[in-house]
Structure 1
Amino acid sequence: MGLRLPNLETIELGHNYLNGIVPDSISNASRITKIYFGANQFSGTLPKSLGSLELLEDLVLPGNNFTIESSSMELTFVTSLINCRQLRVLSVFGNPFNDILPVSIGNLSTSLYTMDASYCKFKGNIPNEISNLTNLAFLDLDHNDIDGLISTTIKELWKLQILHL
């Protein structure tokens, strides 16, 4: 994908009933700042190569069928996003990840303003490291299987305006 469109800055493919996997080659379009794949039927795992998109600001992937890697049983694409220092919006709601929220979520960009991971079948606790996301204003983890106590570190999110659990 990125080999033929190296100057691509925005890719919006929402509401088109597209299916299949997102190819690793998307990272060859290194100027991408916005990806919107909402309300399609993409499946499989998200490529770790998304993490090489250093200019990425908005990653909006709701309403698809993305899952975790079966070999690692871990949401590895989140860890790969730590290189996306400009990331402001991360929206993955409605994907059946069926996993825990990884501790590496706290290593995402401090520019992150919005995170919507509702309806993803996340389980376990909210990691304490989420408090590292100091510019987070909107956090939606509604309709998951999260349990346990809400960490007291959440009070360190001074800019948080909406917390939807």
Structure 2
Amino acid sequence: MPRIMKKPLLTLFFAVFCTALFAQVSTQEKQALIDFYHATNGEKWHHTWQLDQPVSAWKGVTVEDKKVTGITLLFNNVEGTIPASIGDLANLKTLELSFNNISGELPATIGNLKNLNILAFNGNNLRGSIPSSIGELNKLQQLHLSSNKLSGTVPTTVKKLKNLEIFNVFDNNLTGELPTDLAQNDNIKEFMVAENNFSNPELFSIVLLSNSGAGLDLNQKTALTSPANSIIAIEKNEDE
């Protein structure tokens, strides 16, 4: 090959190599996804990941600016446990894993996901308590943990979730008192806690209904209760 041809070819190869290299997510984030894949029997998912393909091509994974910002795998036959390395996905905004067969406990490292807006595990087989580290998710807007086997009390750290709009722990084995500080959150639009064994639902509903002060219009904010006097939901009009 003439020497004059070598330099352009080498330049082209280097450009392609750099493009492929810098188009990928970080090694740490990719490894966290691979850990999750192996811990939850990824080969048996309905829509599996081709690990030899770029992360951006993996079903249900959202990549923005070379960062993993979303995992959405509803009804995907995801089974197994959530590895602690899930906390390495620090750029996640959405973690939606509802209606699968995930077991074990939520790892404390879930509190590392500081950018999370939506955390959803409805309809799984989670056990143990809700980790107190969940209070570190200061951007969280929606928390969905209904229809699992969670036990223990709701951690008082949830009072730190100032941006929370939906709190859904319906149908678990939770006990103790609902943190009344959470009821004073003006952003709460939906609150679902029925089918648990909380000890203070009536007091909690009073705090919710008085949250906006005297003269509250019950057409703007409505509390619903179950036969066991557990609050099912509270909703606000969008124009409130």
Fold shared per TM-score above 0.5: yes
- Given the alignment of the two structures, is residue 2 of structure 1 paired with residue 62 of structure 2, yes or no? no
Correspondence for 1:135: 187
Structure having the higher helix fraction is 2
Match of 1:115 among 154, 157, 167: 167
Task: Give the whole-Å Cα distance in 2 for the aligned partners of 1:148 and 1:43.
Answer: 29
Correspondence for 1:155: 209
Unaligned runs of 5+ in 1: 69-74
Match of 1:85 among 138, 162, 165: 138
Aligned-pair CA distance for 1:144: 1.5
Correspondence for 2:40: none
**1:78-122 C-alpha deviation (Å, 9 max, x unpaired):** x21222111000000011112222322222x21100111100122
Matched to 1:83, the amino acid is E
Q: Secondary structure of the equivalent of 1:154?
A: helix
Q: Secondary structure of the equivalent of 2:29?
A: coil
Moved more, 120-129 or 28-37: 120-129
Distance 1:83 1:149, change over 3 A: closer
Aligned-pair CA distance for 1:131: 2.5
Aligned-pair CA distance for 1:51: 0.8
Distance 1:114 1:162, change over 3 A: farther
Task: Give the whole-Å Cα distance in 2 for the aligned partners of 1:148 and 1:85.
Answer: 25
Q: Which has the larger radius of gyration?
A: 2
Aligned-pair CA distance for 1:76: 4.8
Task: Give the whole-Å Cα distance in 2 for the aligned partners of 1:127 and 1:149.
Answer: 10
Query: TM-score normalized by structure 1?
Result: 0.83
Correspondence for 2:148: 95
Match of 2:104 among 41, 44, 53: 44
Aligned pairs for 1:22-37 within 5 A: 22-37=82-97
Correspondence for 1:72: none
Distance 1:55 1:162, change over 3 A: farther
Unaligned runs of 5+ in 2: 1-27, 34-65, 213-219, 225-230, 233-240
Moved more, 125-134 or 35-44: 125-134
CA contact (8 A) 2:184 2:208 kept: no
Matched to 1:110, the amino acid is K
CA contact (8 A) 2:184 2:207 kept: no
Q: Secondary structure of the equivalent of 2:209?
A: helix
Moved more, 89-98 or 117-126: 117-126
Query: TM-score normalized by structure 2?
Result: 0.59
**1:106-160 C-alpha deviation (Å, 9 max, x unpaired):** 22x2110011110012223322222243211100112222234522432354485
- Which structure is richer in relative contact order (CA contacts within 8 A, separation 6 or more)? 1
Distance 1:48 1:160, change over 3 A: farther
CA contact (8 A) 1:135 1:160 kept: no
Distance 1:149 1:23, change over 3 A: closer
Task: Give the whole-Å Cα distance in 1 for the aligned partners of 2:208 and 2:122.
Answer: 25
Distance 1:76 1:147, change over 3 A: closer
**Number of residue pairs the alignment of both structures matches:** 157
Q: How big is the alpha-carbon RMSD for the aligned residues of Structure 1 and Structure 2?
A: 2.2
